């Protein structure tokens, strides 16, 4: 049972960055390799079902804790368990969507790495450019690693202090004191933390990589078109100039359409999960900021988590805006093909007319920018990230005012 191994078109294995290399080990969110046999697929599905059942058990235990603290009107204790519960529910929705589209995800990733991923051997400069845009995302991954390490150190502290504490705020409907019950539950805590943490930084890293490499392909398309046009103008074969430019634009349009189709596949694959991610973001940031604000030293994990989520949203939004800007400029790319110089120098009026009609068609095909969206409800952009931060700050001020009212009473 082997997870899918990304390879380029020539069979060369892709060297994944460390966040994606860790994410590839996540058996719920990363698809199987096509060579996996029937029994291996059955085993993988069985493990996925077992993982979903563990998620449900944790959901029940954490919800019991929240209900108990809400009935006691203990807002601080209630918000202690809120971040982990929100990210657990988010992970349940996202994992369910992935498992329902596992085969499509594998085919999608295979197409990405064979046709879209920029080969560092063929385009070293462009690869360094797009890889540099992933540095912030890798910083976010490191911050998420610090968050989960803060939770995973709890069992060690429990052993030192001779206590039986779980990693998260939970209330089980049965006695958890016997070691035969406590140890499996604690191990399930660790498993859930690792799976969800790798989901948080891994899937965002993959989405960012998809966006930056697609954007890089559009930039390469523009570069290659400009270089080819300069060669046509330099050769100056007057009877053939219009036909040469027309054939060049047709070849470029075919590549353009292929990139647009991949963008549509990217949208279809991620629109639901992006919607889920952004839908939970405001509430999660609100709870994290409140806990970090009330007691920064004791709740340093919440402060790091808040910083990671904030930078994640802004960096993802910035990459989405960059892709939209690039695709929005494609229409002007076809307009600035120096067709007026070809028109002036060409001696073939019929080919010139066909060229003008082709340029008009190319401009119309690229009249709208491409955005990754969340179920068409919002666009992944820097503006969307800022709006989520603004909403979370509004919730935060509401909670602080409620806390002051409780303290005054």
What is the per-residue DSSP string for 284-334?
HHHHHHHHHHH-TTTTHHHHHHHHHHHHHHHHHHHHHHHHHHHHHTHHHHH
Do residues 245 and 357 make contact, with C-beta atoms less than 8 angstroms apart?
no
Greater pLDDT, 407 or 389: 389
The pLDDT assigned to 353 comes to: 83
Give the rounded percent of residues in the chain with a pLDDT score beyond 70.
98
pLDDT tens per residue, range 116-168: 999 999 999 999 999 999 999 999 999 999 888 888 887 777 777 778 888 88
pLDDT tens per residue, range 78-105: 888 899 999 999 999 999 999 999 899 9
Rounded-to-integer distance, Cα 3 and Cα 17, Å: 16
Quickly list H helices, 72-100.
Answer: 75-100
For residue 7, the 8-state DSSP code is: B
Do residues 370 and 315 make contact, with C-beta atoms less than 8 angstroms apart?
no
pLDDT tens per residue, range 202-250: 999 999 999 999 999 999 999 999 999 888 888 877 777 888 888 999 9
The DSSP bridge partners found for residue 379 are: 373
The pLDDT assigned to 234 comes to: 84
The pLDDT assigned to 281 comes to: 92
The pLDDT assigned to 107 comes to: 94
Averaged pLDDT score across all residues of the chain:
89
Range in 32-46, 122-136, 308-322 with the lowest mean pLDDT: 32-46
Average pLDDT over residues 358-386: 90
pLDDT tens per residue, range 321-337: 999 999 999 988 888 88
pLDDT above 80 for 295:
no
Q: How confident is the model at residue 111 (pLDDT cuts 50, 70, 90)?
A: very high
Rounded-to-integer distance, Cα 30 and Cα 289, Å: 31
The pLDDT assigned to 372 comes to: 93
Cβ contacts of 298-301, under 8 Å, gap ≥ 24:
300/150, 301/147, 301/150, 301/151
pLDDT tens per residue, range 272-282: 999 999 999 98
pLDDT above 70 for 298:
no
Do residues 275 and 268 make contact, with C-beta atoms less than 8 angstroms apart?
no
Q: How confident is the model at residue 407 (pLDDT cuts 50, 70, 90)?
A: low
pTM for the predicted model, two decimal places: 0.93
The pLDDT assigned to 285 comes to: 92
pLDDT above 70 for 382:
yes
Burial of 241 (0-12, 13-18, 19+ CB in 10 A): buried
The pLDDT assigned to 395 comes to: 84
Rounded-to-integer distance, Cα 393 and Cα 396, Å: 5
The pLDDT assigned to 140 comes to: 94
The pLDDT assigned to 297 comes to: 67
201-229 as b/e: b if 16+ CB within 10 A:
bbbbbbbbbbbbbbbbbbbbbbeebeebb
Element (H, E) at 170: none
For residue 113, the 8-state DSSP code is: I
pLDDT tens per residue, range 363-373: 888 888 999 99
Do residues 178 and 104 make contact, with C-beta atoms less than 8 angstroms apart?
no
């Amino acid at each position: 049972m082997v997870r899918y191994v990304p390879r380029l078109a020539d069979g060369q294995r892709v060297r994944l960055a460390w966040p994606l290399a860790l994410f590839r080990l996540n058996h719920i969110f990363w698809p199987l390799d096509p060579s996996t046999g029937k029994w291996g697929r059955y085993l993988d599905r069985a493990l996925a079902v077992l993982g979903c059942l563990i998620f449900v058990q944790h959901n029940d235990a954490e919800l019991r804790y929240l209900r108990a603290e809400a009935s006691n009107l203990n807002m601080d204790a209630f918000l202690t368990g809120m971040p982990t519960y929100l990210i657990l529910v988010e992970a349940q929705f996202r994992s369910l969507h992935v498992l329902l589209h596992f085969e499509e995800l594998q085919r999608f990733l295979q197409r990405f790495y064979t046709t879209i991923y920029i080969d560092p051997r063929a385009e070293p400069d462009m690869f360094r450019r797009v890889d540099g845009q992933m540095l912030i995302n890798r910083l976010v991954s490191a911050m998420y690693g610090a968050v989960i390490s803060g939770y995973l150190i709890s069992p060690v502290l429990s052993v030192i202090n001779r206590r039986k504490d779980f990693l998260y705020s939970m209330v089980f409907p049965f006695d958890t004191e016997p070691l035969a019950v406590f140890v499996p539950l604690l191990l399930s805590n660790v498993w859930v933390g690792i799976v969800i943490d790798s989901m948080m930084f891994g899937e965002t890293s993959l989405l960012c990589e998809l966006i930056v490499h697609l954007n890089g392909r559009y930039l390469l398309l523009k570069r290659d078109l400009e270089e080819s046009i300069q060669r046509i103008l330099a050769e100056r074969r007057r009877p053939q100039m219009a036909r040469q430019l027309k054939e060049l634009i047709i070849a470029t349009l075919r590549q353009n359409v292929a990139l647009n189709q991949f963008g549509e596949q990217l949208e279809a694959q991620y629109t639901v999960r992006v919607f889920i991610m952004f839908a939970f973001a405001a509430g999660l940031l609100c709870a994290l900021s409140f806990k970090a604000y009330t007691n920064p030293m004791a709740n340093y994990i919440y402060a790091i988590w808040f910083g990671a989520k904030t930078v994640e949203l802004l960096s993802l939004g910035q990459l989405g805006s960059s892709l939209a800007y690039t695709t929005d400029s494609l229409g002007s790319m076809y307009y600035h093909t120096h067709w007026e110089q070809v028109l002036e120098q060409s001696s073939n009026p019929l080919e010139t007319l066909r060229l003008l009609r082709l340029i008009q068609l190319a401009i119309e095909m690229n009249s709208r920018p491409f955005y990754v969206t969340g179920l068409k409800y919002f666009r992944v952009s820097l503006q969307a990230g800022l709006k989520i931060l603004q909403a979370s700050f509004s919730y935060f001020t509401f909670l602080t005012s409620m806390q002051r009212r409780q303290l005054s009473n």
